[in-house]
Chains A and B, each alone.
Chain A
Amino acid sequence: MSERKYSLLNHELIPKHEIMSEEELKLVLKSYNIEKEQLPKIKVEDPVIKEIGAQVGEVVRITRNSQTAGEAFYYRLVIA
């Protein structure tokens, strides 16, 4: 059977993931006063990470549709 191609990124359950630039990351870390290792993690083999092509050590910004806040940012460090 031929593999059916589909994009995960449009699924209702999956919020927007985007790779952050160094500068953005610095601002975020500074505002929380933490190191990047203290962020929540996401695995490099996570299907969404594979799709957006993030590398280990990069941080992704996740724009969640929150039921309480409307929209909320969440950050995850890509780990092996």
Chain B
Amino acid sequence: MSISEATIDSMIAQLDLPKNILKTLREDALKANVTKKELEEIIERLEESYRYALVEPCEAVGVVSAQSIGEPGTQMTMRTFHYAGVAEINVTLGLPRLIEIVDARKLPSTPMMTIALEPDYATDRDKARVLAWEIEATHIDNLADITTDLANMQLIIDLNEKTLQQRSLTADEIADKIREKMDVVVTVSGNIANQIILTPNAPSYRELLQLAKNIHGITLKGIEGIKRVVIRKDGEEYTLYTEGSQLKEVLQIEGVDVTRTYTNNIEEIYSVFGIEAARNAIITEANNTLGEQGLTVDIRHIMLVADIMCCDGEVKQIGRHGISGEKASVFARAAFEVTVNHLLDAGMRGDLDELNGVTENIIVGQPIKLGTGDVHLISR
């Protein structure tokens, strides 16, 4: 005789198990039409195997994580310059990327953004294209031919009509932009269409050549630092992929879906979205990097790494300037990197090592406080 849904719910409700397990249990119990007695037994067995699967107290989870990520890491490609993944944008992959993540670099070597669009823009290719021009940094090289006229000491910019239209810019707008950013005399040519003439304030060759060089660096439209924007159709909607990352600026643009926009620059995620988002980003990035190489590491190990990197409210690297460098024990720090410096500094300060951790006890040759080593027997 099977039991009702309500009875199953009430039997499950007070169990101290993760949501995932409870959900599966509930579904399966409904599907299998179990009796009350059967369900009781299932729950009992389930609790037993859940307790068995839990990490035991004093288990060295950090070491297990380190090994579990380190071993597949040895099989990773040392250097990969793929145009892999999305939209022929070059992204760092493999070991270099993994190192970048755990080192909490401020700037990844290939920053990249995935920009989701709001419904109106996501379904309309033309609107998406307009948005892409709004984001991609436009320089003078994209629009015009520049000639240095040494005879008249001026710089002649011949704008290309077609590209101007495409990027919805006018000669006047460009002239204004140049005036704003540079200290030169800008004249929009009256008789020749789309021609701008720049004259340096002081008529010297040096000034003129300097000007010819500097003009390339000015961003006329779009967001500085976004080198390229690629539009791609993912399923039903258009998504923008960018080379270069400026999360804060991109989120300011109307039409960008703030809730689904992503960058591979973890530092940027941290400053714009906060520490929890940064933790999530570390997990996804590390997991994708490993997964892309065909390696599967249990997500729990990566979660542990991300947790320890984020536990003080900021993203810290695993290493001399982060987690390993902040250990309480002198020996533990010395065992990692720059041994002599740590010992010398500790000696000068008169530091005390309590020998509480694993590393320092191995160094001095004592049993470590792990597993059975952490349990004491007292006889009476």
Q: Give the docked Cα–Cα distance between A68 and B252 (Å).
A: 35
Closest chain A residue to B307, Cβ basis: A40
- Chain A nearest CB from B287 CB (Å) reads 9
Closest chain B residue to A10, Cβ basis: B259
Does residue B83 face the partner (Cβ distance < 8 Å to A)? no
Does residue B187 face the partner (Cβ distance < 8 Å to A)? no
Q: A1-B252, A42-B275 are in contact. Are A76 and B258 (CB under 8 A)?
A: no
Does residue A29 face the partner (Cβ distance < 8 Å to B)? no
Question: Which residue of the partner chain, among B274, B303, B312, contacts A40 with CB atoms under 8 Å?
Answer: B312
Q: Which of A17-33 contact B (CB under 8 A)?
A: 17
Q: What are the interface flags for A55-76 relative to B under an 8 Å C-beta threshold, 1 for contact and 0 otherwise?
A: 0000000101011111110001
In contact, B313 and A47 (Cβ under 8 angstroms):
no
In contact, A6 and B258 (Cβ under 8 angstroms):
yes
Contact residues in A for B311 (Cβ distance below 8 Å):
40-41
In contact, A48 and B23 (Cβ under 8 angstroms):
no
- Chain A nearest CB from B222 CB (Å) reads 13
Q: Give the docked Cα–Cα distance between A70 and B19 (Å).
A: 5
Contact residues in A for B307 (Cβ distance below 8 Å):
40
In contact, A49 and B274 (Cβ under 8 angstroms):
yes
Does residue A43 face the partner (Cβ distance < 8 Å to B)? yes
Contact residues in B for A62 (Cβ distance below 8 Å):
276
Q: Give the docked Cα–Cα distance between A47 and B274 (Å).
A: 5
Contact residues in A for B231 (Cβ distance below 8 Å):
none
Contact residues in B for A4 (Cβ distance below 8 Å):
251-254
Does residue B49 face the partner (Cβ distance < 8 Å to A)? no
Contact residues in B for A72 (Cβ distance below 8 Å):
18
Question: Which residue of the partner chain, among B262, B271, B273, B313, contacts A79 with CB atoms under 8 Å?
Answer: B313
In contact, B273 and A48 (Cβ under 8 angstroms):
yes
Does residue A34 face the partner (Cβ distance < 8 Å to B)? no
Q: A68-B18, A69-B20 are in contact. Are A46 and B280 (CB under 8 A)?
A: no
In contact, B251 and A6 (Cβ under 8 angstroms):
yes
In contact, A68 and B20 (Cβ under 8 angstroms):
yes
Contact residues in B for A17 (Cβ distance below 8 Å):
276
Does residue B260 face the partner (Cβ distance < 8 Å to A)? yes
In contact, A46 and B269 (Cβ under 8 angstroms):
no
- Chain B nearest CB from A70 CB (Å) reads 3
Contact residues in A for B254 (Cβ distance below 8 Å):
4
Does residue B232 face the partner (Cβ distance < 8 Å to A)? no
- Chain A nearest CB from B280 CB (Å) reads 5
Does residue B61 face the partner (Cβ distance < 8 Å to A)? no
In contact, B273 and A47 (Cβ under 8 angstroms):
yes
- Chain A nearest CB from B219 CB (Å) reads 14
Q: Give the docked Cα–Cα distance between A35 and B314 (Å).
A: 21
In contact, A67 and B259 (Cβ under 8 angstroms):
no
- Chain B nearest CB from A16 CB (Å) reads 9
- Chain B nearest CB from A75 CB (Å) reads 11
Q: A68-B300, A76-B313 are in contact. Are A46 and B274 (CB under 8 A)?
A: yes
In contact, A13 and B18 (Cβ under 8 angstroms):
no
Q: A11-B258, A41-B311, A41-B312 are in contact. Are A69 and B276 (CB under 8 A)?
A: no
In contact, A3 and B252 (Cβ under 8 angstroms):
yes
Contact residues in A for B269 (Cβ distance below 8 Å):
13
The list of the 6 closest CB pairs from A to B, nearest first, reads A70-B19, A69-B18, A70-B20, A13-B277, A48-B274, A41-B313
Q: Which A residues are closer than 8 A to B by beta carbons?
A: 1, 3-4, 6-8, 10-15, 17, 40-43, 46-49, 62, 64, 66-72, 76, 79
9 examples of A-B residue contacts, CB within 8 angstroms: A4-B254, A17-B276, A41-B311, A43-B313, A46-B275, A48-B276, A48-B277, A70-B20, A70-B23
